[in-house]
């Protein structure tokens, strides 16, 4: 687990890059940047596509990346074994050295129809297999009902979790309207992200969870232009970066702005 004073930067590579060679170039750039630092105030997680997990895992065990970067997956299946064509299990990921798993990403919720119930089962699979869930929540539109929407999504996503287990979770607030893949995307402002994180915490408290989740992140169109606005907030422990994390110059620029 990263220590609390360090900001956590998660690279969600989504369905990119196309080749392992390009993935290696991104990691080389980051490694070179890490090598130039004295104080290391960041923890990194790289979440490549399943097909690159094993090789990226090997690269992360080398050079400067070794002490600062961990391997993450973008999804998991909710059962540990069975006849489930196309799926990848928790034990498979754990044995590959995966430490973190993204759950409930809005692209899976909205494009692939993953319900809160499915996300909840996947969340339990991550915990059962001793990895850290990065649980994405966020409203699709910020309309008059967004608070109710967020509250219900949080209640259903975390249903049945013990306090101990909630304490192991990282929650990423990612408003769908702010994600760069959305044609109408516009970046969020820190104030509304803080308001939403407040709603998430209040919902968990109201559902009997005294212990809060371990860390709270923001995601949605994070770039070198706005990362400081989010990261300087005490309530925001890090960022989940999509598009900008597969552009090596831009990603290193983002890292250079993390204090
Ligand atoms: P973008 O940074 O491309 O908006 O993606 C955010 C995201 O979905 C990270 O999980």
What per-residue confidence (pLDDT) applies to 102?
98
Please give the pLDDT value at position 2.
43
What does pTM read for this prediction?
A: 0.96
149 CA → ligand 1 middle, Å? 20
| Domains of the chain and any CATH numbers | 7-256 (3.20.20.70)
Per-10-residue mean pLDDT, the chain, length 259: 71 98 98 87 94 98 94 98 98 98 97 97 98 97 96 97 92 95 86 95 82 85 96 95 98 94
Ligand 1 centroid to residue 232 C-alpha, Å:
19
221 — alpha (psi -120 to 50), left (phi > 0) or beta? left
Nearest CA to ligand 1 atom 5: 242
**Minimal CA–CA distance to 229: which of 180, 173, 184, 187?**
187
CA Rg, the chain, in Å? 17
Strands 132-137 and 42-47: unpaired
DSSP assigned state of 72: E
Measuring from atom 7 of ligand 1, which residue has the nearest CA? 242
Q: Looking at ligand 1, which atom is closest to the CA of residue 105?
A: 10
Q: How far is the CA of 207 from the centre of ligand 1 (A)?
A: 29
Active site residues: 105, 174
Query: CB of 221 closer than 6 A to ligand 1?
Result: yes
- Give CA 42 to chain center in angstroms: 15
Question: How would you class 182 by CB atoms within 10 Å of its CB: exposed for 0-12, middle for 13-18, buried for 19 or more?
Answer: middle
Count of beta carbons in the 10 Å neighbourhood of residue 206:
11
């Amino acid at each position: 687990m990263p220590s609390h004073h360090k900001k956590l930067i998660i690279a969600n590579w989504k369905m990119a890059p196309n080749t392992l060679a390009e993935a290696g170039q991104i990691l080389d750039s980051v490694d070179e940047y890490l090598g130039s630092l004295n104080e290391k105030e960041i923890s990194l997680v790289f979440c490549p596509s399943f097909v690159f997990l094993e090789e990226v895992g090997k690269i992360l065990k080398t050079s400067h990346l070794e002490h600062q970067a961990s391997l993450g997956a973008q999804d998991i299946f909710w059962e540990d074994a069975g006849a489930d064509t196309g799926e990848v299990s928790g034990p498979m990921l754990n044995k590959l050295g995966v430490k973190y798993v993204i759950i409930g990403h809005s692209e899976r919720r909205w494009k692939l129809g993953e319900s809160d119930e499915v996300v909840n089962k996947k969340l339990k699979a991550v915990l059962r297999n001793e990895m850290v869930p990065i649980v994405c929540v966020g409203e699709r539109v910020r309309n008059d009902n967004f608070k109710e929407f967020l509250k219900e999504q949080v209640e259903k996503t975390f249903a049945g979790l013990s306090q101990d287990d909630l304490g192991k979770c990282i929650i990423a607030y990612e408003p769908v309207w702010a994600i760069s893949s959305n044609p109408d995307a516009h970046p969020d402002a820190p104030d509304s992200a803080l308001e939403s994180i407040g709603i998430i915490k209040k919902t968990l408290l109201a559902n009997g969870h005294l212990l809060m989740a371990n860390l709270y992140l923001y995601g949605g169109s994070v770039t070198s232009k706005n990362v400081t606005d989010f990261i300087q907030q005490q309530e925001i422990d890090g960022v989940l970066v999509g598009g900008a994390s597969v552009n090596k110059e831009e990603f290193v620029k983002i890292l250079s702005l993390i204090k």
